[in-house]
Protein backbone atom coordinates (compact mmCIF):
# COMPACT_ATOMS: atom_id res chain seq x y z
CA UNK A 1 0.00 0.00 0.00
CA UNK A 2 3.04 2.25 0.06
CA UNK A 3 2.65 3.24 3.68
CA UNK A 4 5.33 5.54 5.02
CA UNK A 5 6.34 5.08 8.64
CA UNK A 6 8.76 6.59 11.08
CA UNK A 7 10.08 4.09 13.63
CA UNK A 8 10.90 5.26 17.14
CA UNK A 9 13.27 2.81 18.81
CA UNK A 10 13.34 3.26 22.57
CA UNK A 11 16.97 2.55 23.44
CA UNK A 12 17.92 3.08 27.06
CA UNK A 13 21.01 5.25 26.73
CA UNK A 14 21.85 8.86 27.53
CA UNK A 15 22.98 11.01 30.41
CA UNK A 16 21.10 11.00 33.69
CA UNK A 17 18.79 13.97 34.10
CA UNK A 18 16.31 15.07 36.67
CA UNK A 19 13.05 13.25 36.05
CA UNK A 20 10.12 15.50 35.26
CA UNK A 21 6.83 14.65 36.85
CA UNK A 22 5.48 11.53 35.14
CA UNK A 23 2.73 12.43 32.71
CA UNK A 24 3.57 16.15 32.68
CA UNK A 25 3.53 18.21 29.52
CA UNK A 26 4.75 21.78 29.10
CA UNK A 27 1.64 22.67 27.12
CA UNK A 28 -0.87 20.64 29.12
CA UNK A 29 -3.73 22.48 30.73
CA UNK A 30 -5.41 21.41 33.93
CA UNK A 31 -3.69 19.42 36.63
CA UNK A 32 -2.84 15.79 37.17
CA UNK A 33 -4.01 14.15 40.36
CA UNK A 34 -0.89 12.60 41.95
CA UNK A 35 -0.95 8.87 41.23
CA UNK A 36 -3.52 9.18 38.42
CA UNK A 37 -2.58 7.08 35.40
CA UNK A 38 -4.16 6.91 31.95
CA UNK A 39 -3.46 4.39 29.17
CA UNK A 40 -5.04 4.37 25.70
CA UNK A 41 -5.72 1.16 23.79
CA UNK A 42 -7.77 -0.52 21.07
CA UNK A 43 -7.85 2.44 18.66
CA UNK A 44 -9.98 2.07 15.54
CA UNK A 45 -11.28 4.42 12.89
CA UNK A 46 -14.20 5.42 15.13
CA UNK A 47 -13.30 4.62 18.75
CA UNK A 48 -10.60 4.27 21.37
CA UNK A 49 -10.54 2.93 24.94
CA UNK A 50 -9.06 4.79 27.89
CA UNK A 51 -7.96 2.83 30.98
CA UNK A 52 -7.90 4.98 34.10
CA UNK A 53 -6.12 3.96 37.30
CA UNK A 54 -6.75 6.30 40.24
CA UNK A 55 -5.19 6.44 43.72
CA UNK A 56 -8.49 7.39 45.36
CA UNK A 57 -12.18 6.62 44.99
CA UNK A 58 -13.45 9.11 42.41
CA UNK A 59 -16.35 9.95 40.17
CA UNK A 60 -15.12 10.83 36.69
CA UNK A 61 -16.03 11.34 33.06
CA UNK A 62 -14.11 12.15 29.87
CA UNK A 63 -14.84 15.14 27.67
CA UNK A 64 -13.45 15.14 24.12
CA UNK A 65 -13.60 16.92 20.78
CA UNK A 66 -11.60 17.94 17.72
CA UNK A 67 -10.39 21.19 19.29
CA UNK A 68 -8.75 21.67 22.71
CA UNK A 69 -11.18 24.44 23.61
CA UNK A 70 -14.26 22.78 22.11
CA UNK A 71 -14.66 19.35 23.67
CA UNK A 72 -18.32 18.94 22.76
CA UNK A 73 -18.74 15.24 23.62
CA UNK A 74 -18.48 13.54 26.97
CA UNK A 75 -18.91 10.08 28.44
CA UNK A 76 -21.22 9.16 31.26
CA UNK A 77 -19.79 9.59 34.73
CA UNK A 78 -18.32 6.42 36.24
CA UNK A 79 -17.08 5.49 39.69
CA UNK A 80 -13.39 4.72 40.02
CA UNK A 81 -12.24 2.53 42.89
CA UNK A 82 -8.82 3.25 44.31
CA UNK A 83 -6.19 1.01 42.72
CA UNK A 84 -8.61 -0.67 40.29
CA UNK A 85 -8.31 0.28 36.60
CA UNK A 86 -11.52 1.06 34.75
CA UNK A 87 -11.97 1.24 30.98
CA UNK A 88 -13.91 4.09 29.37
CA UNK A 89 -14.98 3.86 25.70
CA UNK A 90 -14.80 6.96 23.53
CA UNK A 91 -16.85 6.24 20.42
CA UNK A 92 -18.76 7.86 17.54
CA UNK A 93 -15.45 9.37 16.42
CA UNK A 94 -14.42 10.48 12.93
CA UNK A 95 -11.73 8.58 11.00
CA UNK A 96 -8.37 10.23 10.37
CA UNK A 97 -8.96 12.89 13.02
CA UNK A 98 -7.00 14.17 15.99
CA UNK A 99 -9.09 14.37 19.14
CA UNK A 100 -8.34 16.24 22.33
CA UNK A 101 -9.65 14.92 25.63
CA UNK A 102 -9.56 15.59 29.32
CA UNK A 103 -10.53 13.55 32.37
CA UNK A 104 -12.82 15.41 34.78
CA UNK A 105 -12.98 14.00 38.31
CA UNK A 106 -14.17 14.67 41.83
CA UNK A 107 -13.79 12.96 45.17
CA UNK A 108 -16.80 11.61 47.10
CA UNK A 109 -18.69 14.48 48.67
CA UNK A 110 -17.33 17.13 46.32
CA UNK A 111 -19.68 18.99 44.01
CA UNK A 112 -17.33 20.42 41.39
CA UNK A 113 -15.28 18.36 38.95
CA UNK A 114 -11.56 19.12 38.72
CA UNK A 115 -9.94 19.30 35.30
CA UNK A 116 -7.26 16.78 34.43
CA UNK A 117 -4.49 17.35 31.92
CA UNK A 118 -5.21 17.87 28.24
CA UNK A 119 -4.23 14.90 26.03
CA UNK A 120 -4.86 13.90 22.44
CA UNK A 121 -4.91 10.91 20.08
CA UNK A 122 -5.45 10.25 16.37
CA UNK A 123 -7.97 7.83 14.87
CA UNK A 124 -7.01 5.43 12.07
CA UNK A 125 -5.42 7.16 9.11
CA UNK A 126 -6.26 6.15 5.51
CA UNK A 127 -4.00 3.81 3.50
CA UNK A 128 -1.06 5.69 2.03
CA UNK A 129 -0.84 8.17 4.87
CA UNK A 130 2.33 8.86 6.79
CA UNK A 131 2.12 7.73 10.40
CA UNK A 132 4.48 7.25 13.32
CA UNK A 133 4.90 4.26 15.59
CA UNK A 134 7.25 3.26 18.38
CA UNK A 135 8.67 -0.11 19.41
CA UNK A 136 10.33 -1.18 22.65
CA UNK A 137 11.37 -4.43 24.22
CA UNK A 138 13.44 -5.94 27.01
CA UNK A 139 13.10 -3.04 29.44
CA UNK A 140 13.57 -5.59 32.28
CA UNK A 141 12.73 -3.43 35.34
CA UNK A 142 13.95 -6.22 37.62
CA UNK A 143 17.53 -5.86 36.33
CA UNK A 144 18.29 -2.62 38.17
CA UNK A 145 21.65 -1.05 37.27
CA UNK A 146 22.34 -3.83 34.76
CA UNK A 147 19.81 -3.34 31.96
CA UNK A 148 17.53 -0.85 33.67
CA UNK A 149 17.85 2.68 35.04
CA UNK A 150 14.52 4.25 36.15
CA UNK A 151 15.65 7.83 35.44
CA UNK A 152 16.70 6.96 31.88
CA UNK A 153 13.52 4.98 31.31
CA UNK A 154 11.46 7.99 32.44
CA UNK A 155 13.45 10.24 30.12
CA UNK A 156 12.84 7.85 27.21
CA UNK A 157 9.10 7.89 27.87
CA UNK A 158 9.13 11.70 27.88
CA UNK A 159 10.87 11.63 24.49
CA UNK A 160 8.22 9.24 23.18
CA UNK A 161 5.48 11.55 24.46
CA UNK A 162 6.93 14.50 22.57
CA UNK A 163 7.08 12.45 19.34
CA UNK A 164 3.37 11.52 19.69
CA UNK A 165 3.44 8.15 17.88
CA UNK A 166 0.11 6.89 16.57
CA UNK A 167 0.90 3.40 17.90
CA UNK A 168 3.36 1.99 20.44
CA UNK A 169 4.23 -1.71 20.62
CA UNK A 170 5.98 -3.53 23.48
CA UNK A 171 7.67 -6.69 22.24
CA UNK A 172 8.00 -8.45 25.60
CA UNK A 173 10.18 -8.90 28.68
CA UNK A 174 8.74 -5.66 30.03
CA UNK A 175 6.82 -7.41 32.84
CA UNK A 176 9.36 -10.04 33.84
CA UNK A 177 8.10 -12.42 36.51
CA UNK A 178 11.48 -14.16 36.87
CA UNK A 179 12.01 -13.05 40.46
CA UNK A 180 8.53 -14.31 41.41
CA UNK A 181 9.08 -17.60 39.63
CA UNK A 182 12.50 -18.16 41.24
CA UNK A 183 11.28 -17.62 44.79
CA UNK A 184 7.89 -19.31 44.26
CA UNK A 185 6.05 -16.07 45.03
CA UNK A 186 3.47 -16.08 42.26
CA UNK A 187 0.15 -14.56 43.36
CA UNK A 188 -2.41 -12.21 41.84
CA UNK A 189 -1.04 -9.41 44.00
CA UNK A 190 2.66 -9.84 43.26
CA UNK A 191 2.08 -10.16 39.51
CA UNK A 192 -0.25 -7.15 39.50
CA UNK A 193 2.46 -5.00 41.09
CA UNK A 194 4.71 -5.59 38.07
CA UNK A 195 2.03 -4.28 35.71
CA UNK A 196 1.18 -1.34 37.98
CA UNK A 197 4.86 -0.36 38.16
CA UNK A 198 5.20 -0.34 34.38
CA UNK A 199 2.04 1.74 34.03
CA UNK A 200 3.79 4.54 35.93
CA UNK A 201 6.25 4.81 33.05
CA UNK A 202 4.11 3.74 30.09
CA UNK A 203 1.40 6.16 31.17
CA UNK A 204 3.72 9.10 30.47
CA UNK A 205 3.10 8.67 26.74
CA UNK A 206 0.25 6.15 26.99
CA UNK A 207 -2.24 8.94 27.55
CA UNK A 208 -1.61 10.15 23.98
CA UNK A 209 -0.83 6.99 21.99
CA UNK A 210 -2.21 3.48 22.29
CA UNK A 211 -0.14 0.71 23.91
CA UNK A 212 0.02 -2.80 22.39
CA UNK A 213 1.59 -5.53 24.54
CA UNK A 214 3.20 -8.75 23.30
CA UNK A 215 4.49 -11.40 25.71
CA UNK A 216 8.14 -12.31 25.95
CA UNK A 217 9.45 -15.50 27.55
CA UNK A 218 10.09 -13.68 30.84
CA UNK A 219 6.39 -12.88 31.28
CA UNK A 220 5.84 -16.63 31.94
CA UNK A 221 2.56 -16.49 30.04
CA UNK A 222 3.23 -19.51 27.80
CA UNK A 223 0.66 -22.26 27.29
CA UNK A 224 2.88 -24.94 28.86
CA UNK A 225 2.65 -23.09 32.21
CA UNK A 226 -1.11 -23.62 32.36
CA UNK A 227 -1.89 -26.34 34.91
CA UNK A 228 -5.67 -26.24 35.10
CA UNK A 229 -5.76 -23.94 38.14
CA UNK A 230 -6.55 -20.25 38.57
CA UNK A 231 -3.15 -19.52 40.10
CA UNK A 232 -0.84 -20.86 37.39
CA UNK A 233 1.80 -18.35 36.21
CA UNK A 234 0.25 -18.07 32.74
CA UNK A 235 -3.21 -17.33 34.16
CA UNK A 236 -1.96 -14.72 36.62
CA UNK A 237 0.10 -13.01 33.92
CA UNK A 238 -2.79 -13.09 31.45
CA UNK A 239 -5.30 -11.67 33.91
CA UNK A 240 -2.98 -8.87 35.01
CA UNK A 241 -2.13 -7.96 31.43
CA UNK A 242 -5.78 -7.69 30.42
CA UNK A 243 -6.80 -5.89 33.61
CA UNK A 244 -4.18 -3.15 33.50
CA UNK A 245 -3.92 -2.60 29.74
CA UNK A 246 -6.81 -2.23 27.24
CA UNK A 247 -5.72 -4.71 24.57
CA UNK A 248 -7.60 -5.79 21.42
CA UNK A 249 -9.71 -8.90 20.99
CA UNK A 250 -11.04 -10.16 17.65
CA UNK A 251 -13.85 -7.95 16.35
CA UNK A 252 -14.82 -6.10 13.17
CA UNK A 253 -11.56 -4.09 13.24
CA UNK A 254 -8.97 -6.45 14.77
CA UNK A 255 -8.15 -10.06 14.12
CA UNK A 256 -6.36 -12.11 16.75
CA UNK A 257 -6.46 -15.02 19.14
CA UNK A 258 -10.08 -16.16 19.40
CA UNK A 259 -9.35 -19.19 21.62
CA UNK A 260 -10.47 -18.64 25.20
CA UNK A 261 -8.26 -19.68 28.11
CA UNK A 262 -9.79 -21.01 31.31
CA UNK A 263 -9.73 -18.39 34.10
CA UNK A 264 -8.56 -15.73 31.62
CA UNK A 265 -11.08 -15.57 28.78
CA UNK A 266 -9.80 -14.22 25.50
CA UNK A 267 -6.02 -13.93 26.08
CA UNK A 268 -5.53 -10.86 23.83
CA UNK A 269 -1.93 -12.04 23.37
CA UNK A 270 -1.66 -11.46 19.62
CA UNK A 271 -3.62 -9.44 17.11
CA UNK A 272 -3.43 -7.76 13.71
CA UNK A 273 -4.92 -4.65 12.18
CA UNK A 274 -4.46 -2.20 9.31
Give 182's pLDDT tier (boundaries 50, 70, 90): confident
| Residue 31, pLDDT above cutoff 80 | no
Q: What is the pLDDT of residue 22?
A: 35
| Residue 258, pLDDT above cutoff 70 | yes
Q: Annotate 223-254 with DSSP letters as a single string.
A: GGG--SSTTSHHHHHHHHHHHHS----SSSS-
Rounded percentage of the chain residues whose pLDDT exceeds 90? 81
Please, which contacts does 163-166 make with residues 24 or more away whose CB atoms are closer than 8 Å? Answer: 163/8, 163/132, 163/134, 164/120, 164/132, 164/208, 164/209, 165/8, 165/132, 165/133, 165/134, 165/205, 165/209, 166/43, 166/122, 166/125, 166/131, 166/132, 166/133, 166/209, 166/210
What does DSSP say about strands 4-9 and 48-53: parallel, antiparallel, or unpaired? unpaired
Instruction: For the full predicted model, state whether its pTM sits above 0.85.
Output: yes
Provide the residue ranges of all domains of the chain, joining segments of one domain with +: 4-272
Query: DSSP E strands: which ranges in the chain?
Result: 4-9, 37-41, 48-53, 58-65, 73-74, 78-80, 86-90, 98-106, 114-122, 130-136, 167-170, 210-213, 255-256, 271-272
Give 68's pLDDT tier (boundaries 50, 70, 90): confident
Rg (CA), the chain: 18
- How close are the terminal C-alpha atoms of the chain, in Å? 11
Q: How far apart are CA 188 and CA 86, in angstroms?
A: 18
Give 32's pLDDT tier (boundaries 50, 70, 90): low
Give 181's pLDDT tier (boundaries 50, 70, 90): confident
| Residue 158, pLDDT above cutoff 70 | yes
| Backbone φ, ψ for residue 58 (5° rounding) | -140, 160
Q: How far apart are CA 193 and CA 202, in angstroms?
A: 14
> Considering only CA atoms, which of 242, 243, 220 is closest in space to residue 232?
220
Please say whether the beta carbons of 41 and 51 come within 8 A.
yes
For the segment 69-78, what is each residue's pLDDT rounded down to a tens digit? Answer: 778 899 999 9
Measured in residues, the chain has a length of 274
What does DSSP say about strands 86-90 and 98-106: parallel, antiparallel, or unpaired? unpaired
| Residue 29, pLDDT above cutoff 70 | no
| Residue 216, pLDDT above cutoff 90 | yes
How many Cβ atoms sit within 10 Å of the Cβ of residue 15? 7
| Residue 240, pLDDT above cutoff 50 | yes
The order of strands in the sheet holding 4-9 is: 4-9, 130-136, 167-170, 210-213
| Residue 27, pLDDT above cutoff 80 | no
Please say whether the beta carbons of 90 and 111 come within 8 A.
no
> Considering only CA atoms, which of 216, 224, 269, 208 is closest in space to residue 242?
269
Give 220's pLDDT tier (boundaries 50, 70, 90): very high
The CATH fold assigned to 4-272 is Immunoglobulin-like (2.60.40)
| Residue 51, pLDDT above cutoff 60 | yes
For the segment 185-201, what is each residue's pLDDT rounded down to a tens digit? Answer: 989 999 999 999 999 99
Q: What is the pLDDT of residue 30?
A: 55
Amino acid sequence: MGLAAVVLLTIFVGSAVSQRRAGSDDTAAGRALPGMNQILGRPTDRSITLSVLAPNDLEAFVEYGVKPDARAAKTQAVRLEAGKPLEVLLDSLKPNTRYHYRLRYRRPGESAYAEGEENSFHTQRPPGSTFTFGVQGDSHPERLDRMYRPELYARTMENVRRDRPDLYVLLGDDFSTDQLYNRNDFSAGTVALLYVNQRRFLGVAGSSSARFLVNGNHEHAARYLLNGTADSPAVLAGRARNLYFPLPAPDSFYTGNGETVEFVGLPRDYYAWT
